[in-house]
Amino acid sequence: MSKITVLGMGAMGSRMALSLLKAEHEVTVWNRRAGKTDLVVKAGAKVAETPRSAVKEADFVISMVRDDEASKQVWLNSETGAMAGLSKNVIGIESSTLTVAWTKELAKEFKQKGVAFLDAPVAGTRPQAEAAKLIYFVGGDAATFTKAQPILQAMGSAVHSVGSVGSGMTIKLAVNALFGIQVSALGELIGLMHDCGLDEAKAVEILSSTPVCSPAAKMAASAMLVRNFSPLFPIELVEKDLSYAVKTAQSNQTTLPLVEAAQQVFATAIKEGYGEDNITGVAQLYI
Ligand SMILES: NC(=O)c1ccc[n+]([C@@H]2O[C@H](COP(=O)([O-])OP(=O)(O)OC[C@H]3O[C@@H](n4cnc5c(N)ncnc54)[C@H](OP(=O)(O)O)[C@@H]3O)[C@@H](O)[C@H]2O)c1
């Protein structure tokens, strides 16, 4: 049993904390806004007032917050940030989906403090988090990975060591970019088939049965068909992740024209009021 702090009790962080509790770890949580910790407290977690006080006794600290800015706040805020409260033998784990540049900057802060650090973002959404079946992409040194692996396994079905710090985030952004491109293309194409007068259900069934349709695209197509847009991976987060892939390419003096195009489609969906819908809600631009 380890003492684990989870910072960020959003859709993913709260489910991850519950998995850790189920695995009989001692869990302390913190969330910026009140009212998000009730469920985990009922399941046995302690709540702290600030990220700094949350990490006092921790062996592992996991951050699962929205974006680069949120990550900066939880780790480095001069008054409340977790970094200043970490003891030397802790392992810091950043599981939010962030830019590679920020992840590397954060890793430098950990190095300066003399504390071990991993970037460990995840694939899988709310049902996978709930079932402890997330897929982890982990960047960091081998010794730190080995120590953290059993903790990550309590929340995931696969834990991949990818390379040095920042590598986990790079793969995660690539996975989400591929997913975002596929789902936005599907929305467009279902719209086209609809406009051409095809029987939508039959057309989607045939498209889904072909080898060009990935398992994830197949699931997205079924959801679009029944107009199920209830949030799992909300469009606002999809757009953020695609923008982070684009930024990461820019900082390597390259471009991602297809990812940028998909990002623009999701940005339009946000403008149209679909930001809180699931990724599949992008279809509403076309059907
Ligand atoms: N949802 C998915 O399917 C999914 C899958 C894989 C990875 N991810 C990634 O996992 C991370 C969390 O996603 P989620 O779905 O759990 O998002 P969420 O439900 O929107 O929760 C976001 C969390 O970030 C916190 N936060 C936002 N801005 C903050 C700030 N400035 N300072 C401190 N805390 C802040 C929120 O606190 P408040 O409650 O106070 O707002 C909340 O705890 C994101 O990076 C996302 O891209 C999501």
Query: Would you state the pLDDT for residue 5?
Result: 98
% of the chain residues with pLDDT over 90? 99
Residues with CB under 6 Å of ligand 1 are 8-13, 31-33, 36, 64-66, 69-70, 73-74, 96-97, 122, 125, 232-233, 237, 241
Q: Which residues of the chain have pLDDT under 70?
A: none
Give me 263's structure tokens.
Answer: 């990002």
What integer pLDDT is reported at residue 224 of this predicted model?
A: 96
Residue that finishes a domain, picked among 114, 136, 164: 164
CATH code assigned at 157: 3.40.50.720
pLDDT at 259: 98
pLDDT at 153: 98
CB count in 10 Å sphere of residue 278 = 22
- pLDDT at residue number 229: 97
Considering the domain architecture, whether residues 125 and 82 belong to the same structural domain is answered as: yes
Q: What is the pLDDT of residue 20?
A: 98
- 81: domain range? 3-164
Total domains, the chain: 2
Residue with tokens 């149209």: 272
Neighbouring-strand partners of residue 6: 29, 62
Q: What is the pLDDT of residue 18?
A: 98
In the chain, which ranges are continuous DSSP H helix? Answer: 11-22, 38-42, 51-54, 68-76, 100-113, 126-130, 142-153, 167-195, 200-209, 215-225, 235-250, 257-271
Distance of CA 175 from the midpoint of ligand 1 (Å): 18
pLDDT at 281: 98
Q: What is the CA(65)–ligand 1 centre distance, in A?
A: 4
CA gyration radius, the chain: 20
